[in-house]
Structures are given as C-alpha cells and as structure tokens.
C-alpha cells in the first residue's frame, strides 16, 4: 500500500512537471495589425481561433496597433526586443522597418504561394528589393469615383464622368442648394496624398523618382494634376483643408457632396451611413484627362512581414500565412471590411467565399470595377518597377499633400507649389 502511494505521488509529480513542458512546446506568435475597427478585429479573431484550433502546436495572438503611431511604435518595440513575429505593413512602412534589420526575406515562400494562387504584380512589386521579397501581400486597396445617382438625375447628368474635364463640368452643375459637387481631402494627411496620387497617376506624373533615385516630381504632368485637383476644390466644402478620410465619406453619405474619390470601403458603409437605397450609389473608374492621360489609381497592397529570427517561429508564421490564403479563409479575411480589402491574387477575385458577402452582391458592377481598377493601380515610390527605400520620409511628412495646401492655403501657383514640393522631397531624402 505504501509502495502504491509512493508510486502515485511520483507519477503525480512527474506529470505535473511534464505538463508545462508539453505546453511550452507550443510556438507562440504575436501578430500585429493596424485594423482597429471592431468588425475587423472580430473577423481576425475568428480566423485566429480557427487556426489555433487546427494547429495545436502554434498559438497566434493578435495585437491591434494604430496606423497613426505604428511608425514610432514598431521600431521601438523591435529595438527593445518586444516586437511582433508577424506585422501587417504597407510598402512605405515596409521600407521603414527594413532599416531596423528585423524584416526577414520571404522570397521562396512568396514563390511557393505565387505558384498556387498567382499574385498580382502590383501587389508584390512594392515588397521586392535587392532580389528578395520582404513581405507576403494579403490584400490590396484601390480607389474609384463614387457618385450619388439621385443628385446626378436632379442635375440632369446622364452618365458618370470619364474625364477630369467632365468631372469639373458636372461638379459645377451639382454645386447648389448647400450641396457640393465633389468632396476631396486637402489636409496634410495620407488621405490627401493617396487621393491626389490617383490624379498624378492618370496625368502620367506618378514617378516621383527617376531610375537613379533622383526626384523628378517637378514636371509638367504633376503641375497639370495639381491644377486639376485644386480647381476641383472650388466645388468642394471650404473646410476641405481639414478633411482626411472620414469627413469626405461623411459629406458624401449625408448627401452634402455628390461625388467622392475613395476606396471600396463605400460598399461597406454607404447603406448604413447614408440611409439611401443601394441604387443611389454609383461608381466609375478614376477619370483621366481628356488628352495625354492614362488609366490609373492609387493602389496599395498590405503584406504580412515576418520579423522573427527564430526558425521555428518563422515556420509557424508561414503556416499561419498559408492558412489565411486558403480559399475557405481568404474570403472571410477580405470581408473583414468588404470592398476595402481586395484580393491580391488572380484566383482571389473568383473566390465564392469573398464574392458572397452581401455588401459585394449588392453592387456587383462596382466589385468588378474595383478588380479592374486594381490592374492600373500604383503607389508612390513603387511605380515603374522601382523600389525607392527613400519614400518613407516623403510619405511620412505628407509632402504630396503639402503641395496641395501650398496652392489652397498659401495661394501659390501649381507650378511654384510643385517646385516647392520637389525641393522638400530632395531635402527629405538628403
């Protein structure tokens, strides 16, 4: 009896010691992203729970960060050894974080996934430098011209504008009775940078750098784009200089503005915020200049960057990213914000699990247009196959947006404002 008790006690001690060691074998992954709206966090959590249940040896934990502070928080966390294992980044943030030496190359992994799902070049190019891929794109974002059909009917405008000249003409007709023809951001924010970049792209002024990395922003195409943008601001609310993302969307949804240039998020928020029927929302490709233009829009892909140097964690991170791109999971990931997050793979655009979302089924033509516009999209610093590591300080200081403010607030001519902007860019990368 004594022996049995002794054996039981020894077994209990061994088991109690052994149990934690089994638990410690779990690979823990800290996953940072900056998608803080509750619906997005919830969608992520559902996928993470599903992944953790299916992979008992890996434990993924999401930590939500803020886009406004990520440029300060991430390097500080990496420097102090408390950074994440995986971080969702835009290309500008990617260039910034690479300077810390923490970002791991993932070329073989991207090639493996490309073989399976066929990435869009516009999504992978901004993460390709020095013969290596530095991130795995998971979704893209592109802009369209959105308009209120009821306002167009009231102003007897029968079709969506296809050129910037038509936009100006329509905006003039639509501006009346407390309603503005168009709403555009003109604050010193990323919202203005990105919206204006759609203009720059269509005016063929998208290359801020030449092949040698020299600033070539001061060119006639950029001047034409600035002229058009600031001319259109005459048909926008006078406080557009304070507008970032939320204000133009609110103005459009409330009916205070008839046209808007924005991402596919309109499909998520229009019904909820406007109270108008789905038929009132129209969409069109980003207009082009009547002469000498090209199709284009701001397009940015978000990629998962692996920051851990631990080989076991790197493998676990790849398992998690593979899981997110699987057809059953990719649709729910994209529909964390339907319309805003677009597939970055050719196969993704055909995914039933993505297309089934009610926000997308209501506007199938807009969903198709978002996919088409993605093909001609681009991002400052990463156009023409370039990868400009110096884009960080230019984007960070919103120099593109400041050019618009120079004209609107300081009443500089577009030519002088563009020249000033080019000087600022040169100083920023010096």
Partner 1 sequence: MVMLEHSGQFLYADLVSGGANRPIWSRKQIEQVIGYILVAPLLCWMLVVLIYPIFSLLALSLTNTRIIGAPASFIAAENYVATLQSAPFWASVARSLVWLLGNIFLGTVVALAAALLLRQSWLLARHARVWILLPWVIPTVAVSVIWQWMLNTNYGVINIALQHLAITSAPLNIFGSRQLAMVGVIVANTWHWFPLSAVVMFGAMHNIPADLYEAAQIDGANSWQQFRHITLPSIEKVLFALGLVGGLWTLNVFDTIYLITRGGPSDATQTLPVLIYDTAFKGQRIGLAAAMSVVAICLLAALATLYARIAAPKEE
Rule CB under 8 A: which residues touch partner 1? 71-72, 75-76, 78-79, 96, 99-102, 187-189, 237-242, 256, 392-393, 396-398, 402, 405-406, 409-410, 428
- Nearer residue to partner 1 within complex by CB, 259 or 307: 307
CB 120 within 8 A of CB 274: no
Q: Find the shortest distance in angstroms from Cβ 72 to partner 1.
A: 5
CB 123 within 8 A of CB 251: no
Q: Find the shortest distance in angstroms from Cβ 278 to partner 1.
A: 27
- The Cα 422–Cα 219 span in angstroms is 9
Q: Phi, psi at residue 389, to the nearest 5°? A: -65, -20
Q: Find the shortest distance in angstroms from Cβ 349 to partner 1.
A: 35
- Nearer residue to partner 1 within complex by CB, 275 or 277: 275
DSSP state of 85: S
- Nearer residue to partner 1 within complex by CB, 97 or 123: 97
- Nearer residue to partner 1 within complex by CB, 172 or 256: 256
C-alpha distances in Å from residue 138, one per residue of 119, 320, 331: 10, 12, 11
- Nearer residue to partner 1 within complex by CB, 104 or 163: 104
Question: What is the number of other CB atoms lying within 10 angstroms of the CB of residue 427?
Answer: 12
- Nearer residue to partner 1 within complex by CB, 360 or 412: 412
- Nearer residue to partner 1 within complex by CB, 76 or 312: 76
Q: At 30, which helix (H) or strand (E)?
A: strand 27-33
- The Cα 48–Cα 51 span in angstroms is 5
Task: Please count the residues of the chain.
Answer: 430
CB 337 within 8 A of CB 35: yes
Q: Which of helix, strand or coil describes residue 237?
A: coil
Q: Find the shortest distance in angstroms from Cβ 411 to partner 1.
A: 10
- Nearer residue to partner 1 within complex by CB, 78 or 336: 78
Q: Which of helix, strand or coil describes residue 3?
A: helix
Q: Find the shortest distance in angstroms from Cβ 256 to partner 1.
A: 8
Q: At 391, which helix (H) or strand (E)?
A: helix 391-396
Q: Find the shortest distance in angstroms from Cβ 102 to partner 1.
A: 8
CB 343 within 8 A of CB 354: yes
Q: Find the shortest distance in angstroms from Cβ 400 to partner 1.
A: 13
Q: At 174, which helix (H) or strand (E)?
A: helix 164-174
Q: Find the shortest distance in angstroms from Cβ 130 to partner 1.
A: 17
C-alpha distances in Å from residue 422, one per residue of 154, 222, 306, 407, 429: 42, 10, 34, 14, 11
């Amino acid at each position: 009896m004594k022996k049995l008790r002794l054996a039981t006690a020894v077994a209990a001690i061994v088991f109690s010691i052994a149990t934690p060691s089994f638990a410690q074998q779990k690979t823990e992954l800290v996953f940072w992203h900056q998608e803080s709206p509750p619906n997005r966090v919830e969608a992520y959590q559902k996928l993470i729970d599903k992944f953790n249940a299916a992979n008992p040896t890996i434990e993924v934990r999401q930590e939500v960060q803020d886009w406004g502070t990520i440029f300060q928080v991430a390097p500080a966390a990496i420097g102090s050894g408390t950074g994440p294992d995986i971080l969702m980044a835009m290309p500008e943030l990617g260039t910034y974080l690479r300077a810390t030496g923490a970002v791991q190359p993932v070329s073989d992994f991207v090639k493996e996934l490309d073989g399976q799902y066929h990435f869009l070049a516009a999504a992978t190019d901004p993460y390709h430098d020095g013969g290596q891929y530095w991130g795995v794109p998971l979704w893209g974002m592109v802009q369209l011209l959105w308009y209120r059909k009821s306002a167009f009917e009231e102003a007897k405008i029968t079709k969506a504008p296809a050129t910037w000249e038509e936009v100006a003409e329509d905006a003039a007709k639509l501006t009346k009775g407390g309603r503005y023809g168009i709403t555009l951001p003109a604050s010193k924010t990323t919202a203005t940078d990105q919206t204006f970049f759609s203009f720059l792209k269509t005016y063929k002024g998208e290359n801020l750098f030449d092949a040698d990395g020299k600033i070539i922003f001061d060119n006639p195409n950029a001047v034409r784009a600035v002229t058009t943008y600031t001319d259109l601001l005459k048909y926008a609310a006078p406080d557009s200089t304070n507008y970032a993302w939320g204000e133009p969307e609110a103005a459009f949804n409330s009916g205070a503005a008839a046209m808007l240039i924005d991402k596919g998020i309109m499909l998520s928020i229009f019904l909820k915020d406007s109270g108008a029927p789905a038929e009132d929302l129209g969409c069109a490709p980003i207009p082009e200049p009547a002469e000498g233009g090209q199709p284009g829009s701001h397009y940015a892909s978000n990629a998962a960057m692996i920051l851990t140097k631990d080989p076991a964690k790197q493998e676990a991170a790849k398992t998690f990213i593979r899981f997110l791109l699987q057809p059953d999971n990719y649709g729910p990931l994209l529909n964390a914000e339907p319309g805003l997050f677009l597939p970055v793979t050719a196969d993704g655009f055909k995914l039933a699990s993505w297309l089934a979302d009610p926000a997308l089924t209501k506007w199938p033509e807009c969903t198709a247009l978002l996919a088409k516009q993605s093909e001609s999209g681009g991002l400052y610093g990463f156009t023409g196959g370039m990868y400009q590591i110096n884009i960080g300080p230019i984007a960070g200081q919103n120099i593109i947006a400041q050019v618009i403010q120079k004209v609107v607030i300081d009443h500089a001519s577009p030519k002088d404002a563009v020249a000033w902007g080019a000087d600022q860019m040169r100083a920023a990368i010096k």
